[in-house]
Structure 1
């Protein structure tokens, strides 16, 4: 019988404490039989709870007591999610309404998301035009048994995309019973935002006793849209009382490219404001509008997940299993204000695969032209109205498999097909041909608030953009103990995987025909096959020392081969002390948007010191990106070293150091740097203002990042005062260094927002207390401050430092009623505003949210 020491007992206590229903103390001295299990990052079963690689295990009970009601809300709060991950606050992207993980700040594309140890389809289109990732919003929360977060690279076992780590979401496998629950939440700050959730779990049969299990889970979320105009401290968009802040209104309704040459009368929701309040150093007054009314900071969401799983015992040693996951999500939001008309207005020429300029000059005699010469105009299609988007995403996964034990071998073989499909519906965009006709005829008066309905309807354009991502896999794994050494048996695992990956992200017919004004394009069409084989050995060198050696060879049909080895050591000289370390080589295959037939057009802003009208201010422009079929995979070298100390079964302290070097990072050159050095890829109009920057993806940069994870657990069991547990996970980012442009010296972005906000400190600390029928958890979330990008400091009066973001969540559960649990949860207990960052509209959405205090009341009933 395996006799655990203090270390695994301490870890087991940490996992069990959220239930706060400990076994009777008289059982504490009995030896515990631990069943061998497979832990994320390895295919060899083990009884070691702490292995050679750091794995954070999150139980369903921990999720419940956190008060978080969605999967991404909980996962994104862990300390290793240091930066460069986005959630549904990012509405101005091709992947609006999604959420992802960015372990180590390396982006969603370098964090591999698994469900029950297997891949699922990436989101239907790409984030930032090139990054493919799994949308956490598509995955169920109610069906989760636990989540294992592997914090070092695991390409030797899983292949591409695991450079920063792996998040393995493990669903319930043998659930019996029935329960239902609902929760109702709302902001206390008068924003009007609410969120309602429900879940249902049904399970019958025990696989070991009855020979079968059938499990069904259903959950749903509905929350209403939150606009900037609903938030008291955002609705005016006037930040002149803050360092580096200004009036974030948008000038409009003017002639000759000069905002001070305004229309004679107010057209649309505009006011006359001092030009210098918007652009420091300018004089005069301009017509401008408040963009808050056209800014959805959180979309309205309606989302449902369903899981059906069945397991059947075919023989004493063989089980068959099948699983179906279906999720459906709708995200609705305001995409932007009525379409802006002015220089730089364009449409797509599909024949020549380029953007063409659309003339916006008012001809002589046009009712909006007060001059007797053709006159440039800048305004908005006010009568057409705000531009809206509604994204409908359907995610599916169908899995069939068989696993068992034959002789000395454990094995598992499965096949699955998974899809993510998107339909993006847009309304009130601009029709190019109607615009050109009405401009020439004068049938639409840009300087009027009262245009004919026929002209307004002709200008309105509604489109549908479809996209789909597909994944088909065949997996086979087998493991055994090969032979005995003096210190124990040598474990061995091997496996084969086939994958077919495909993406078909199209644009609307209106874009292809050239009808849509100011189109954004993300066309991706490609597929590939991947064949992979891997092997793993676990070698007991001494009774206290284990070595693990693994390697995987992948063959991609588009670029060729990629090999990933890994070597790790686990040394436990004392029952209370564990030392561990690993070395691995990882890779990220070029994404389909990067290497296949793809074209992307997007819109961004950059500080332009050479702008002839507003030098040193942000200027909007068009980004055009093209794929590169000659790309090679990104490569990484990962080092990890750490220790875990457990002086008692109630106490554990762990520290792990990570060091990652990435080479051949795929991406375009930094736009700001290209502007600074007057690169010829930066195209300007006749005035000298930036209009377009052209880029192509290249293997060009390198990146080095390292840091430290600190984990602490302390449990305290008292007589009469209940049970206490203190758990803390802290990440300290030491370095995040890469060049701004290939060939340049690297720049350290740790503790800055040069490469996206990357605070040096991030931590989650929870104090749980349970007594009688009441349990409560107080959680402190801390995100450190960071320095401003020197580029941003070109703007006068900018603060050099963005303050930290520190909030508390509280949840209290009562189980005094039969079979019923009532939970009250408060997020952002202090009602704290996000820290001011003038390089953003107000705050960095990857680190904070604008909801303020949010209270949720939940009920759960077990039948």
Structure 2
């Protein structure tokens, strides 16, 4: 059954899940559910147990289970997710109905994410979802120290996931505004388990294989020690756009979509107001096609040449050693080391600003009205002969934790030291070319951008290829913490308790480019940068639980944080649990939050890269109509990719929030448990980059963010595509500024629903579960002076917010066999419908259809210690719904919210022995 009501760490030795439930309670967790009016069929088993003192998710206090409070916590049994074909932590997070994450591994295609994937509860930002491992922080990803890369979590060693949905910033940290996701590994293990799994899509590409070994020895109860070690390796193959019909092209006339680039092969050229291509009007299909907006030129279908899922290899070593020390105390040492290798491919390298003198062997051949053949032309050439640009991102994460937990003089304590480190690098391993070298070779007549390359020219192009590291980065977090709790006095409803704690941590960040490489490869979107920063944080927490009456319990908490660079903040919290009847619990909480700018927000390198979507210059091509009088060139200024400056901003202010929740949990009939929790979040001074679409659409308001070529130094223009695509010092946009900024307010609210029903059926047992989130409203500003904009059910700026998401599952178990049928659903939304990229305008505007996937699996235990599972994910082979979004390199669908693999078969086996 679901675990949202228990609010419990359940760190006792009794960890075994109910066998028919993926989202479950342990026996001691179930006792807490019972106190809330949970499933009464658990009573006989619980009556025979001695109540235990355990730590509660969302609280630093340990208390007996009969005095537990109700917090909106979802507890996920990861082993049963594995049996359902889930192969990564990213997939676990995607199954949460509370998740609105758009930061997935496929985002590495066409961007510099380094292959990282992040959690984003409530959609308010990855930097406001606090990710913990065994209750402590994990180092943020090196290239974006805003959030934790989920690839750094040891999936094979994770036993369960606890998701606290009430934004408990007073307990865990001021950045837990959206909620907390706590990944919990095994406490102890004895024996050996070997496991292997394989997933294979019905269509080409995307095969995944995984192998794991887990072994441990010792027994805490018998000999006072236990040690376990796990090694896990996984490999997912890439999926090309050409491997899926819905992704194989960005040119879809029937939908009004023309996701193309004006830099093509054979190349386009310009001279003053003349723009042409020697291969026009036919161009060179299937990749080079006639331009729909500029007669006589061609465009390139870049979407056909990219990957839609990268190739990913991950290796993780995790271990834990636990020893009994002193009296009633445990000392544990936890080690995790993870390597992630992400390889992604995008369209061949575009080289612009190629000046070809008159009389050169490379000069365009043909008749072109208005062309003065005594003058040079400027060409832009897609380097198709060099092949796809291939990026490799390598990341390595280490974690070392010492933990001492126990009781002393009637008090519970926990102390720890931890060190976490994340390093990453990304670079070119194929397809990128040294742009200055290519320009010089074309000018000398040894390369020709208008005709197929000869063997001699292919050799020059191979020489032109530039491989190397673009940048390396590192993020570290090290700290110490101490918590102490005890009972105080008796009240009408039970024993009052109090806790106090302190934490000190130091964060460090650096990011360095290989200057020679990034200068030689402008399309990498990097500028020479060497930045670093650090901060110290000291925090104090206190908490009290007051059982005022047998029906009413009140929780009070407060946290004080002092940042060395962002000042100090005090954040209180109040919560309550009211149980008027045996089968009904009312609960609620209210708290404030404080989110300091991360080191990446402040110091991230300011680089200039290509936007993923096309746009019209608001001055030189307003509404898609070229303004020749102002110096507009249609092929350059209409429907083309502008370059964008991204990076940190040292002038940022902290974000502040107010959150409250109000809900109930009840049992309307025997064995049916249900809950509904309303949540409300108000955030001000949100830190984010202003979306490119908003900057373009509001030129007057954001005029200072536009940097035109004529206003820039020549050495800066030399690395800007639009400045090189026409005459130097033109009026074209060199780049627009979209660095991190305090954008304004965010206000969002909604309701989380859960239900679980379990009953005997035909000699076995059937368990049904349901988990859904409905968002009433999500409003935000792009600046403090802007009106609030509603984002629910509509794609605005860079993403939609889903009105409704849910998962439904049914598990039937009989003997050594079990089967599970699960359904995942997202509602549709009004699409991006960008007039700069949708050819034909409003007549082609559309809504993205709802998206539902069905999975099925069967498991058996043929002999002692062995488990076998076979299943199908996306049973009905449902394609992602069509989307005309242009914020990702993938076109025709949105890879952030859908699964492009299609029907996928999987098999998993494990064998355990002593």
> Does TM, scored on the shorter chain, surpass 0.5?
yes
Q: Helix, strand or coil: the match of 1:851? A: coil
Cα deviation per residue 1:118-164 (whole Å; 9 max; x = unaligned)?
001111112xxxx6211112211221121100011111112132110
- Residue among 706, 718, 727 paired with 1:682: 706
Distance in structure 1 (CA, Å) of the matches to 2:105 and 2:850: 20
Q: Who is 1:430 aligned against?
A: 433
Structure 1 position 656 matched with structure 2 position 677? yes
Distance in structure 2 (CA, Å) of the matches to 1:36 and 1:273: 69
Distance in structure 2 (CA, Å) of the matches to 1:562 and 1:636: 12
Distance in structure 2 (CA, Å) of the matches to 1:520 and 1:780: 40
Q: Who is 1:821 aligned against?
A: 867
Distance in structure 1 (CA, Å) of the matches to 2:362 and 2:850: 50
Q: Helix, strand or coil: the match of 1:203? A: strand
Q: CA deviation at 1:291?
A: 2.4
Q: Who is 1:556 aligned against?
A: 563
Distance in structure 2 (CA, Å) of the matches to 1:49 and 1:237: 59
- Residue among 716, 732, 738 paired with 2:780: 738
Q: Who is 2:634 aligned against?
A: none
* Structure 1, 688-697 or 301-310: larger mean CA deviation: 688-697
Cα deviation per residue 1:500-540 (whole Å; 9 max; x = unaligned)?
1111122223256x333234238542111111111111111
How has the CA–CA distance of structure 1 residues 486 and 851 changed in structure 2, closer, same or farther, with 3 Å as cutoff?
same
Distance in structure 1 (CA, Å) of the matches to 2:168 and 2:21: 31
- Residue among 792, 804, 808 paired with 2:850: 804
Distance in structure 2 (CA, Å) of the matches to 1:50 and 1:388: 54
* Structure 1, 772-781 or 604-613: larger mean CA deviation: 604-613
Q: CA deviation at 1:732?
A: 0.4
How has the CA–CA distance of structure 1 residues 558 and 824 changed in structure 2, closer, same or farther, with 3 Å as cutoff?
same
- Residue among 95, 99, 113 paired with 1:81: 99
CA contact (8 A) 2:355 2:443 kept: no
Structure 1 position 778 matched with structure 2 position 821? yes
Distance in structure 1 (CA, Å) of the matches to 2:141 and 2:199: 28
Distance in structure 2 (CA, Å) of the matches to 1:235 and 1:494: 58
CA contact (8 A) 2:7 2:57 kept: no
Q: CA deviation at 1:79?
A: 0.3
- Residue among 441, 445, 450 paired with 2:448: 445
Q: CA deviation at 1:391?
A: 1.3
Q: Who is 1:347 aligned against?
A: none
Q: CA deviation at 1:722?
A: 1.0
List aligned pairs for 1:346-425, cutoff 5 A: 359-370=353-364, 371-425=373-427
Cα deviation per residue 1:703-733 (whole Å; 9 max; x = unaligned)?
0000110000001123x33101111101001
How has the CA–CA distance of structure 1 residues 392 and 259 changed in structure 2, closer, same or farther, with 3 Å as cutoff?
farther
- Residue among 326, 330, 340 paired with 1:315: 326
Q: Who is 2:476 aligned against?
A: 470
Q: Helix, strand or coil: the match of 2:86? A: coil
CA contact (8 A) 2:9 2:54 kept: no
Cα deviation per residue 1:375-417 (whole Å; 9 max; x = unaligned)?
1212223333321111111111011122211011111111111
Cα deviation per residue 1:453-473 (whole Å; 9 max; x = unaligned)?
553244211121211111111
Distance in structure 2 (CA, Å) of the matches to 1:29 and 1:305: 38
Distance in structure 2 (CA, Å) of the matches to 1:317 and 1:25: 30
- Residue among 800, 810, 831 paired with 1:788: 831
List aligned pairs for 1:365-764, cutoff 5 A: 365-370=359-364, 371-427=373-429, 428-448=431-451, 449-450=453-454, 451-452=456-457, 455-464=460-469, 465-511=471-517, 514-521=519-526, 523=529, 524-596=531-603, 598-604=605-611, 605-608=613-616, 610=618, 612=620, 615-616=623-624, 618-648=639-669, 650-678=671-699, 679-685=703-709, 689-718=732-761, 720-754=762-796, 756-764=799-807
How has the CA–CA distance of structure 1 residues 434 and 76 changed in structure 2, closer, same or farther, with 3 Å as cutoff?
same
Q: Helix, strand or coil: the match of 2:520? A: coil
Q: Who is 2:370 aligned against?
A: none
Q: CA deviation at 1:574?
A: 1.5
Q: Helix, strand or coil: the match of 1:429? A: coil
Structure having the higher strand fraction is 1
How has the CA–CA distance of structure 1 residues 794 and 734 changed in structure 2, closer, same or farther, with 3 Å as cutoff?
farther
- Residue among 306, 309, 316 paired with 1:298: 309
Distance in structure 1 (CA, Å) of the matches to 2:386 and 2:423: 30
How has the CA–CA distance of structure 1 residues 271 and 781 changed in structure 2, closer, same or farther, with 3 Å as cutoff?
closer
How has the CA–CA distance of structure 1 residues 269 and 120 changed in structure 2, closer, same or farther, with 3 Å as cutoff?
farther
Distance in structure 2 (CA, Å) of the matches to 1:308 and 1:723: 36
* Structure 1, 44-53 or 771-780: larger mean CA deviation: 44-53
Q: Helix, strand or coil: the match of 1:680? A: helix
How has the CA–CA distance of structure 1 residues 661 and 792 changed in structure 2, closer, same or farther, with 3 Å as cutoff?
farther
Distance in structure 1 (CA, Å) of the matches to 2:67 and 2:286: 64
How has the CA–CA distance of structure 1 residues 752 and 532 changed in structure 2, closer, same or farther, with 3 Å as cutoff?
same
Q: Helix, strand or coil: the match of 1:66? A: coil
Distance in structure 2 (CA, Å) of the matches to 1:39 and 1:677: 49
How has the CA–CA distance of structure 1 residues 265 and 579 changed in structure 2, closer, same or farther, with 3 Å as cutoff?
closer
Distance in structure 2 (CA, Å) of the matches to 1:154 and 1:9: 12
Distance in structure 2 (CA, Å) of the matches to 1:200 and 1:103: 32
Distance in structure 2 (CA, Å) of the matches to 1:532 and 1:591: 17
Number of equivalenced pairs: 829
Q: CA deviation at 1:793?
A: 9.0
Distance in structure 2 (CA, Å) of the matches to 1:19 and 1:363: 73
CA contact (8 A) 1:534 1:550 kept: yes
Gaps of 5+ in 1: 1-5, 343-358
Cα deviation per residue 1:764-793 (whole Å; 9 max; x = unaligned)?
111111112210111100011011347559
* Structure 1, 370-379 or 626-635: larger mean CA deviation: 626-635
Q: Who is 2:248 aligned against?
A: 235
Q: CA deviation at 1:480?
A: 0.9
Distance in structure 2 (CA, Å) of the matches to 1:239 and 1:641: 47
Distance in structure 2 (CA, Å) of the matches to 1:794 and 1:426: 29
How has the CA–CA distance of structure 1 residues 463 and 794 changed in structure 2, closer, same or farther, with 3 Å as cutoff?
closer
List aligned pairs for 1:68-107, cutoff 5 A: 68-107=86-125
Distance in structure 1 (CA, Å) of the matches to 2:476 and 2:360: 51
Structure 1 position 836 matched with structure 2 position 903? no
Structure 1 position 112 matched with structure 2 position 158? no
CA contact (8 A) 1:420 1:468 kept: yes
CA contact (8 A) 2:249 2:892 kept: no
- Residue among 213, 222, 226 paired with 1:213: 226
Q: CA deviation at 1:61?
A: 3.7
CA contact (8 A) 1:52 1:568 kept: no
Q: Helix, strand or coil: the match of 1:561? A: strand
Structure 1 position 33 matched with structure 2 position 50? yes
CA contact (8 A) 2:283 2:289 kept: no
Cα deviation per residue 1:526-570 (whole Å; 9 max; x = unaligned)?
111111111111111111111111111111111211222111111
Q: How does the TM-score come out when normalised to structure 2? A: 0.85
How has the CA–CA distance of structure 1 residues 437 and 255 changed in structure 2, closer, same or farther, with 3 Å as cutoff?
closer
Distance in structure 2 (CA, Å) of the matches to 1:691 and 1:108: 30
Distance in structure 2 (CA, Å) of the matches to 1:688 and 1:151: 50
Q: Helix, strand or coil: the match of 2:460? A: helix
Distance in structure 2 (CA, Å) of the matches to 1:730 and 1:684: 48
Structure 1 position 186 matched with structure 2 position 210? no
Q: Who is 1:245 aligned against?
A: 257
How has the CA–CA distance of structure 1 residues 273 and 114 changed in structure 2, closer, same or farther, with 3 Å as cutoff?
closer
